[in-house]
Amino acid sequence: MSQKIAFITGGNRGLGFQTALDLKNSDTKIVIGSRDLAQGEQAVEKLRAAGVDADVLQFDITKPADYKAAYDYFNSKYGRLDILVNNAGIAAGKFPGTGPEHSAAEVPTDLLHKVFETNFFAQVALTDALLPLLKKSPAGRIVNLSSILGSLTLHADPKSPIYHAKSFAYDASKTALNAFTVHLAYELRDTKIKVNSAHPGWVKTDMGGESAPMELSEGGKTSAALATLPDDGPSGGYFHLGQPLPW
Ligand SMILES: NC(=O)c1ccc[n+]([C@@H]2O[C@H](COP(=O)([O-])OP(=O)(O)OC[C@H]3O[C@@H](n4cnc5c(N)ncnc54)[C@H](OP(=O)(O)O)[C@@H]3O)[C@@H](O)[C@H]2O)c1
């Protein structure tokens, strides 16, 4: 088949934008989702100037009407979707931090709901809404932007580098997203669709902050690689730069 069709949510800045750049040479039409259309259009201009075949769709992952709009957009224009990068996400506060949003004992319930709404419930709802189009792809790929902070194994290990990096609302939402990866990959095991969780690294973005060790130019690599996995690539995994992470 000809050019692949990809949808990257939250593609107007940060890792979503970088992932679009990194898919430049993959013969893919990249549609970035952007809550703010003007910001999305500016991002598309930059992507096109860099040689990426890009378009923008106004898209807020917390608005259920936008799932149908996204389905209709891809269905009417292309009749399928090859790549879905579930990149849009929110933090519950600054990293690293000590506020109640980081504490399992003190987290405000409304904040927990808000973070889960964006980072988990909405990701599941969007993916499920677009699955009929991904099933029409000869090689569907779903990339869930998790984080190493979603790893229960590493959080429980006093020797792990993230043992003291706890941010309860965010971390738990990414753990839940990882559960979605495992369950959906199981359900799709007899299809051509691969579903994986990505940890991009701790990256200098608005979310990652200035103390992050990884430059943005490196941060899209894990998502881009999982979005373009070959047919014999893994599904139901959790990866950082090609290396598996413990759940
Ligand atoms: N940076 C890191 O070190 C790091 C590490 C591990 C995992 N991650 C994950 O990687 C993903 C991208 O992170 P980032 O660092 O690029 O964050 P970022 O710089 O804060 O960008 C977040 C993106 O998500 C979009 N977004 C937020 N809420 C949205 C909503 N309701 N609907 C649609 N789009 C929404 C934002 O759009 P607006 O511009 O409209 O706000 C923006 O495009 C997130 O899922 C994050 O959890 C990041």
Ligand 1 near 87 CB (within 6 A): yes
Mutate which of 205, 222, 238, 245 for ligand 1 pocket (most atoms within 8 A of beta carbon): 205
**What order of strands is seen across the sheet that includes strand 243-244?**
54-58, 28-34, 4-8, 83-86, 141-145, 194-198, 237-240, 243-244
**Mutational pocket test of ligand 1: of 8, 35, 214, the residue with most ligand atoms within 8 Å of the beta carbon:** 35
Whether pLDDT at 86 is above 80: yes
User: Whose Cα sits closest to atom 47 in ligand 1?
Assistant: 89
Nearby residues of 120 by Cβ (< 8 Å), 6 or more positions away: 173, 176, 177, 180
Helix/strand/coil for 200: coil
Question: Which band of pLDDT confidence, cut at 50, 70 and 90, is reported for residue 8?
Answer: very high
User: Region 36-49: what's the mean pLDDT?
Assistant: 98
Residue 10 beta carbon below 6 angstroms from any ligand 1 atom: yes
Axis crossing angle, helix 109-116 with helix 168-187, rounded to the nearest 10: 40
Q: Give the pLDDT confidence score for residue 94 in this predicted structure.
A: 78
Name the residue with the closest Cα to ligand 1, atom 17: 207
Q: Which amino acid is at 168?
A: F
User: What's the whole-number mean pLDDT along residues 128-134?
Assistant: 98
155 lines ligand 1 (CB under 6 A): no
Which residue from 22, 86, 90, 238 has its CB within 8 A of the most atoms of ligand 1, so it is best to mutate? 90
**Residues for the chain: how many in total?**
247
Residue 165 confidence class, pLDDT cut points 50, 70, 90: very high
**Residue 10 alpha carbon, nearest atom of ligand 1:** 43
Question: Can the peptide bond before residue 132 be classed as cis, meaning omega within 30 degrees of 0?
Answer: no
pLDDT tier at 19 (50, 70, 90 boundaries)?
A: very high
CA dist., res. 115 & res. 25, Å (int):
34
Whether 114 lines ligand 1, by a CB cut-off of 6 Å, is no
Question: Could you report the per-residue pLDDT of 209-224, keeping only the tens digit for each?
Answer: 999 999 999 999 999 9
Average pLDDT score, the chain: 97
Cβ(45)–Cβ(51) below 8 Å? no
234: burial class by Cβ within 10 Å (0-12, 13-18, 19+)?
middle
By the 8 A CB rule, do 140 and 193 touch?
yes
What's the CA-to-centroid distance between 45 and ligand 1, angstroms? 20
* Amino acid letter, 99: G
Q: Is the dihedral of CA 204, 12, 67, 196 positive or negative?
A: negative
Indicate if the alpha-carbon torsion angle 21, 23, 29, 35 is positive or negative: negative
Atom of ligand 1 at shortest range from CA of 59 = 33
